[in-house]
Amino acid sequence: MGESILTGDSEVCTVRGPGIVMGEDSRVPARSAAATLVALLLALSISSLTHAQDPMEFEGPGIDWDLPDSHMLYLKGTVNDPFLDRNWSTNTGEPLGKAEFTRTSSSLNPNLIDIESAPLSNSFRFEGNLSVRLFASLDSTNDGCRLSNVLPGAAGAETRFFVTLILGNTIVLDNAVTNSIAMQESYLEAHEFTVTAGDVNVSMAEGDMISLSVDVEHDCVQQGILWWGTYDATSAIIFQGDVIEPMLDYQVDSNRMVRIEFTPISPWGPGDFDRQVIQIVGPLDWDEMVHGHGKEDQRLEHFEMPHGTRKGEANRTILTWTSEKPILPGQYMIDSCFALTDQDPGETCDAVAVLRFEILPDEDPLLSSMWAILIIPLAIVGWIGASIREATLPLPAYGVLLLLAIASIGPAMHLPDIDSEVPRQEGAAPSFTLLSHDGGLYSLSELIQDSDALVVGLFHPGSPNAIRQMNEFRGAEALSQVDIAFVQIATGEGVQAIDLDTFAMQLNESWPLLLDESDASTGKAFPSGATDAVIVIDSAGFVTSWNPGTMSSMEIEEAVESATRGSGNNPLTILGLIMGTALMPLLILAMPRDRKLELPKEPLFPGAASIMTALAAAAGFAIWALPISLLSAFGAGSIWLWVELILAILLIYHGSSMLLRGKIMEVEIVSSRVYQMLPEDFREWRDESSFKEDAYLGLWLAWLIWLRTPDLVPQGVGALARSDITGTILSVIAFAGMLLVAGLVINLARLVALTPGNISRTFGWLSVGIRPRAWGLAAAVLGAWVAVHLAVGPIYGSM
């Protein structure tokens, strides 16, 4: 990064008062008068300072430009090859360009220069004053010309120039005469000759040229020289008025990444803008947004070299930058400083732009998950109130139901908001079939086929992140030891193939370049939204990780390696959920159904009760987890949104069945058959109802895990099975591990529920029939919430 050229200078005014001398007898009044005068001067000084330093008052977003008052077109080159150029020369010493003349040569051949500029790159209309400034001197340091100038202005030894200036087809100066000077010295103190045309109003088209012709009349016998081409001999055409029209714009994407675009518009092309420094500063109040203002920790981004370019209207080149990370909501400014080639190179900021903008907080969803936190307990309380009309339960049973209503807040806290077209944050990637830049069609299943992972780069046309993603993808391709597929998708409204022609040439068919043409529906369906982002998808079609903007090669390699091993989803993840609130209802549901502990008639080996509980819980967990694992392993990831919608409906069914009938048919059938497989002495000790209750707890554990981490089982088992032969073997072990952990968690829930001792047994016995029904109501509400979220958000948004 180069040195910042942003400055913020403040003028300080100093006011000095005259001294007052008085006699000794007047010392006290003198002191009083002096004090009054000092106070008055101090007040005036502070007022002056305050007025001088008060920034302009801004009330909202907008942009302010501070552009140069004059623009230059310099005489450059040598006497044999002069030309007009926009660059202020930084050379010092004897000028590189000169045209010599004498009294004789100026009479016989007065023309010194007759040249044309390069054709204009852009049309422009100029209104203002035009001047031509020339620097000349004698070829010696004596005063011969000045001393022989007997009658200045009439008959003497003066020098003057005649200038003809044509802009396009318009003659601005027609043999106009400069001031006359009896020259002396050398190039060290060259004389300045000027001629001005006022109130010029000229329109020039692209391709027009500026013509300059300079003749000389030199009356002195000593040789004269016209100089140009050094820092202090800037013979030039001066435009006093508006010439350049730069444009600075910004965009804030759905991830609050700020993209900045600068269009360098000049009649002589974008090369007029030599360099720039752009900073994002804030948050600030509107009236604090002035150039150079802001503390160091408020300077969030610093840009110099462009991150990328794109073509805009009239085929203009637009320089682009993007922030490295999302920016919090607040008021910010883009503080910009530009150096121009025609301005004094000793100055650091020739043009300044302050672009004020605001990043608004995310819009509130249609229905926040906070409503679910209220609805579920209220539904249980309402159901309790309705049931009292039919039959009255013991008071402790109502206390247990209230505890269950409070515990239901735990899983409700992790429900997603209900909002229109929002993507699913945890789950499978959206299924798509998109047109490529070269005309072919690619689907998600085709791109991911025979690969360990798919890395998707989303970007807006012209975004600098497109180049960044391409470079990082190539780096990851070289680093990774596994088979990775790559694709980049241009998203956003109105994407066209022509917008990607330049980038496609750079990409050189390294991987497919797709167009999200259907109102950015595919981009909107990704967790990132239709914006710049990198998404890593495992072999089963599930999003394992994503990052706004781009992702480094190392991060991509690590994410892909993790995707081939279940993306961190394993049986231990279930144990990690114990410490949270997602499994809280299990503590109430696990309260014992028997009023007192019954020991087996025949002695059993130690831990027999825990093994029976674990076995029943594993059976209930497998009723849910086995079909999900198989669907994921066999490649249902492309339709997983619909699978999840069916799961949400199934949860509604399970909850409703428990509420209305107190049982679920498939759990009854599976748990009954597993129970019949147990040894007879086990069955004689614990009845089938107790075994089934543990199976229900295993099922509810599976549902609570799905509500908290929807991709734990699909990725931890199904995606692992699709990676390779080793992964297939590991997926079987992972599934068995999840069944084992499910049994362990239910045993722990039973143990915690028994902690209060006889009180727990009494409360559990009194509420044995009502607890599952109340939880069924909560489960149905949870399922309905997820179903509405999926239908209104991800599914509707992907259509």
pLDDT at 396: 82
Amino acid identity for residue 434 in this structure: L
Query: H/E element holding 504?
Result: helix 501-507
Q: What's the distance, CA 431 to chain centroid?
A: 25
In this prediction, residues 410-416 reach a mean pLDDT of 91
Please choose, from the candidates 414, 333, 345, the residue with its C-alpha nearest in 3D space to the C-alpha of residue 373. 414
Q: Is the peptide bond before 283 cis (omega within 30 degrees of 0)?
A: yes
Q: State the chain's maximal CA–CA distance in angstroms.
A: 142
Q: What is the pLDDT of residues 18-28, one digit of tens each?
A: 333 333 333 43
Alpha helices for 680-724 (secondary structure H): 680-685, 688-708, 712-713, 720-723
Strands 533-538 and 453-459: antiparallel
C-beta of residue 484 within 8 angstroms of C-beta of residue 447: no
Q: Would you call 372 helix, strand, or coil by DSSP?
A: helix
Alpha-carbon span 526 to 429, nearest angstrom: 6
Please, which pLDDT band fits residue 152 given cuts at 50, 70 and 90?
low
pLDDT over 60 at 8, yes or no = no
In angstroms and rounded to an integer, the radius of gyration of the C-alpha atoms of the chain is: 41
> In the predicted model, is pLDDT for residue 12 greater than 50?
no
Q: 470 is written with which tokens?
A: 């391409």
Structure confidence at residue 497 as a pLDDT band (50, 70, 90): confident
| Type and span of the H or E element at 602 | none
Tell me the Ramachandran region of residue 449: left when phi exceeds 0, alpha when psi lies from -120 to 50, beta otherwise: beta
Q: What is the mean pLDDT of residues 353-374?
A: 89
358: nearest Cα among 215, 445, 252: 252
Q: Is the pLDDT at 138 greater than 80, yes or no?
A: yes
What is the rounded average pLDDT of the residues 354-367?
90
DSSP for residue 531: S
pLDDT at 755 over 70: yes
pLDDT per residue as tens digits for the range 763-777: 878 878 888 999 999
Contact 436, 519 (CB under 8 A): no
pLDDT of residue 391: 66
Give me the chain's average pLDDT, please: 84
Q: 549 and 259 in contact (C-beta within 8 Å)? A: no
Task: Give the pLDDT mean for 590-613.
Answer: 72
Q: Which two three-digit tokens encode residue 169?
A: 């087809």
How many Cβ atoms sit within 10 Å of the Cβ of residue 183?
Answer: 27
pTM value is 0.75
Estimate to the nearest angstrom the gap between the alpha carbon of 566 and the chain centroid: 29
Q: Determine which of 16-30, 200-214, 228-242, 357-371 has the lowest per-residue pLDDT on average.
A: 16-30
Provide φ and ψ at 593, rounded to 5°: -90, -20
CB within 8 A of 747, min separation 6: which ones? 610, 613, 614, 617
Q: CA-to-CA distance for 89 and 229, rounded, in angstroms?
A: 6
Residue 595 pLDDT: 67
Q: Are strands 224-228 and 62-66 parallel, antiparallel or unpaired?
A: unpaired
How many other β-carbons are positioned within 10 Å of the β-carbon of residue 518? 15
Per-residue 3-state assignment (H helix, E strand, C coil) for 514-546? EECCCCCHHHHHCCCCCCCEEEEEECCCEEEEE
pLDDT at 150: 61
Band (pLDDT 50/70/90 cuts) for residue 741 is: very high
Specify the pLDDT at position 722: 82
- What end-to-end distance do the CA atoms of the chain give, in Å? 45
